[in-house]
Structure 1
Amino acid sequence: MRVLLLSYGSRGDVEPMVGLAVQLRELGAEVQMCAPPDFAELLDGFGLPLVPLGTSVRKMASGAITGKKPQPPSSMSQRAAEMVAATYEPVAAAAEGCDAVVATGLLPAAAAARSVAEKMGIPYVFVAYFPTYLPSPHHPPLVWPGRPVPPDVTDNRTLWDLNTERLNELFGEAVNTHRASIGLPSADNVRDHVFTDRPWLAADPVLGPWRQPADLDVVQTGAWIRPDERPLPADLEAFLDAGTPPVYVGFGSMPLRDAQDVARAAIDAVRAQGRRALVSRGWADLALTDDQDDCFAVGEVNQQALFRRVAAVVHHGGAGTTTTAARAGAPQVVVPQLADQPYWAGRVAELGIGAAHDGPTPTTESLSAALKTALTPETRARAQAVAGTVRADGAAVAAKLLLDAIGQEGPPMVA
């Protein structure tokens, strides 16, 4: 069997697909990956052939952060049309000989993947990495920057109906114009068309549960965790061994508008707690503020190994970082920026495994307060208790489910 995996988004969108790819290959399947060119090195390290999609996501994200005004719907619709068209051709070529397509990431790209699967008559699966991306009466949809919902509307179903209208306004014409050009019928509800009525949820059931009853028949597999057995760099090992466990500070593949102000606030807050700081550069290019030996900067490292050796993890609240820290039993301070990150901040606080920072712009004072909560013995004990409940087999569950479904030519996929 041969499976095509498409992930158009940041590193947090791509890494779980790598976890699934590894499990699929262990079961004897071939895997083809479609992702932005930013992740060629990551995929090459696992021997996964990459079909690059579009331009650098890092550049696109940095432009969105530094932009002063949200783009008008007409501009977004035009970009969506370009993305659908640009994604369809390489994905269609890569899908030749494939038995199924699994997609996630930006909605226009996933829409192109579904069109490829329909055109070829092969099954299609959409996967979300956090529950609130999927329609449910138990939570509202994500709020699009610059496009707030009416303040007097609070019913979740009504909010999801508004979300349907908004996504049709932004992406409907682009998706349906392209579908018509390749002889496919139009989709009345572009969001539900992409998600299907049986999407998969690759999130841990303890950290990100799917609440019932719900309208969608969601298949929750557990988080898809990329295997990482890399040793930590020697200089990082030396820093870890030279003193008490440090506080890790990193924002992953999130650019930040005032990155050095954030770094300064974080380092000062960590020092205020009498701790050493370990700063991850990431896409924000965080840097140390001085040359004192209580701080150390790192690039790309094995977080699965590192987080077991830190006092706490200060991060943006991506699904992958939240899950990795939770598995390691490390207390967390989540400073959410956008998308799913407020959800994960809320879950960390609700579970008692850390603190949710109020808003995306930390100060020394606000981070100090959050760290005081995260660094208590009670929070560490709770984090270590929850760590024992977090599953590590989500990718294996999904891989077996996928291959079994292909063999049966039936649910849980949409053909």
Structure 2
Amino acid sequence: MRVVLSTYGSRGDVEPLAGLAARLRERGAEVRVCAPPDEDFARRLADAGVPLLPVGPSARALTSAAPAPSSLPRRAAELIAGQLETVTAAAEGCDVLVATGALPAAAGALSVAEKLGIRSVSVTFQQLTLPAPHRRPLNYPGRPLPPEVTDSRLLWDLDARSTDALFGEALNTNRASLGLPPVEHVRDYVIGDRPWLATDPVLDPWHETPGLDVVQTGAWILPDTRPLPAGLTAFLDAGAPPVYVGFGSMPMHASPDVAEVAVEAVRAQGRRVVVARGWADLSLADDPADCFVVGEVNQQALFGRVAAVVHHGGAGTTTTAARAGAPQVVVPQVADQPYWAGRVAELGIGVAHDGPAPTYDSLSAALRTVLSPGVRARAAAMAGRVRTDGASVAARLLLDAIGREGRYVSA
């Protein structure tokens, strides 16, 4: 069995594919992963035993550059063209293609599967892109939804039109080069009739929605067996559990002094700090004894040894912290991150920070709450409720479907 996994996006779009790839390989499948050419992505996929087939520009470079919203259609055309070139070569002779990541990239990958006549599965790592009557769609950069419109059906119609305006020409021009007919609605083409939702059902419960036959597998997690760096282990052993501060793939343009603000707010609670550099390249002005700065690190191991996790609200970081039983302060920046912040607050396992730029006062107040006994107890209880078998469920469903006609069976 041969499977190709395709994505374009940040660490949160690549890490789950590493988890699925590992489980597929355990079942004897040959796996190929098409993803951005960033070194940390290649290293993580290597941990899963699969090579990275690079597609498109560096995701980190693109994110850090903060391109203007007006360039989105052009960048979409480039992403789709890159998918057609790389994924077509990777998918030759494969049995099934899994597409996720940025919408235009997923549309390109699905077009490749259509051209080659192989099965495909569309996957999302957060449910906000799936039309549902109980919530608003996400805003695209530079194309805000009208605040005066409250009818969710109208808003989802506007979302479909906006998606077509941004990506329709780029997709259909590239499809024509493959000899494929044009797509009428890009969003609906990508979602398909039976999308997969690779999130934890406790953290991210899916509510049945007419017209959408969603398969929720659980989050796709690659167990991380890497040891923590010796210096970090010594720091952790030298005192009470510190507070972790890190914002993953976010450049933190709205809060360039966030490291200094966070350190002072954590100190005010009598705690030490672990600062993760991330794509914002966070650093400290000096080298204080109560702080430790890390680069790429095993979060699964680290989060089990901290008093709280201050982060941006990516799906992967939220799930990892919840699995570790660590209270969370979520400082959302973009896209689905306010949703995850809200879920953390609703579950009582942390605080949703108001806005993307924390101050000493706002972060101090949030930390006082999450370091309280009640939040710590609820976070610890949550650790035992988060599923750990999502990638195994997805691998079983995927391989069971290969070579069999009909629908995918439910997770």
Select which of 73, 80, 84 maps to 1:77: 73
Is 1:378 aligned with 2:374? yes
In the alignment, the residues of structure 2 paired with residue 175 and residue 135 of structure 1 have an alpha-carbon distance, to the nearest angstrom, of: 21
Select which of 185, 195, 201 maps to 2:181: 185
SS in 1 for 2:5: strand
- Give the deviation of 1:59 after TM superposition: 0.6
Contact 1:334 1:345 in 2 (8 A): yes
Is 1:26 aligned with 2:26? yes
Select which of 107, 127, 133 maps to 2:129: 133
Q: Report the equivalent of 1:328.
A: 324
| CA deviation profile, 1:339-359 (whole Å, cap 9, x unmatched) | 110010000000000000000
In the alignment, the residues of structure 1 paired with residue 347 and residue 193 of structure 2 have an alpha-carbon distance, to the nearest angstrom, of: 29
Aligned pair count reads 407
* Mapping 1:1-400, distance limit 5 Å: 1-38=1-38, 39-64=41-66, 70-72=68-70, 75-257=71-253, 260-400=256-396
For residues 218 and 298 of structure 1, do their structure 2 counterparts lie closer, same or farther at Cα, with a shift above 3 Å needed?
same
Contact 1:133 1:340 in 2 (8 A): no
Moved more, 403-412 or 122-131: 403-412
- Give the deviation of 1:131 after TM superposition: 1.4
In the alignment, the residues of structure 2 paired with residue 79 and residue 253 of structure 1 have an alpha-carbon distance, to the nearest angstrom, of: 19
| CA deviation profile, 1:76-114 (whole Å, cap 9, x unmatched) | 222222221122011101101100000111111111111
* Structural RMSD (CA): 1.3
SS in 1 for 2:157: helix
For residues 269 and 397 of structure 1, do their structure 2 counterparts lie closer, same or farther at Cα, with a shift above 3 Å needed?
same
SS in 2 for 1:28: coil
In the alignment, the residues of structure 2 paired with residue 282 and residue 151 of structure 1 have an alpha-carbon distance, to the nearest angstrom, of: 34
| Percent identity of equivalent pairs | 68
SS in 2 for 1:105: coil
Contact 2:21 2:48 in 1 (8 A): no
Matched AA of 2:62: M
In the alignment, the residues of structure 1 paired with residue 231 and residue 158 of structure 2 have an alpha-carbon distance, to the nearest angstrom, of: 52
SS in 1 for 2:248: coil
Contact 1:85 1:178 in 2 (8 A): yes
Which residues of structure 2 form unaligned runs of 5+? Answer: none
| CA deviation profile, 1:12-69 (whole Å, cap 9, x unmatched) | 10000000000001111110010000022222333312210011110100011xx5xx
SS in 2 for 1:186: coil
Normalising to structure 1: TM-score of the pair? 0.96
In the alignment, the residues of structure 2 paired with residue 258 and residue 359 of structure 1 have an alpha-carbon distance, to the nearest angstrom, of: 10
Regions of 4+ moved over 3 Å: none
| CA deviation profile, 1:91-142 (whole Å, cap 9, x unmatched) | 1011011000001111111111111111111111111111112111122111
In the alignment, the residues of structure 1 paired with residue 287 and residue 55 of structure 2 have an alpha-carbon distance, to the nearest angstrom, of: 40
Matched AA of 2:4: L
Matched AA of 1:71: P
Contact 1:138 1:211 in 2 (8 A): no
SS in 2 for 1:119: helix
Matched AA of 1:330: A
Contact 1:313 1:330 in 2 (8 A): yes
SS in 1 for 2:309: strand
For residues 81 and 258 of structure 1, do their structure 2 counterparts lie closer, same or farther at Cα, with a shift above 3 Å needed?
closer
| CA deviation profile, 1:174-210 (whole Å, cap 9, x unmatched) | 1111112211111111111011121000000000111
- Give the deviation of 1:259 after TM superposition: 5.5
Normalising to structure 2: TM-score of the pair? 0.97
In the alignment, the residues of structure 2 paired with residue 162 and residue 122 of structure 1 have an alpha-carbon distance, to the nearest angstrom, of: 32
In the alignment, the residues of structure 2 paired with residue 40 and residue 82 of structure 1 have an alpha-carbon distance, to the nearest angstrom, of: 22
In the alignment, the residues of structure 1 paired with residue 240 and residue 381 of structure 2 have an alpha-carbon distance, to the nearest angstrom, of: 22
Which residues of structure 1 form unaligned runs of 5+? Answer: none
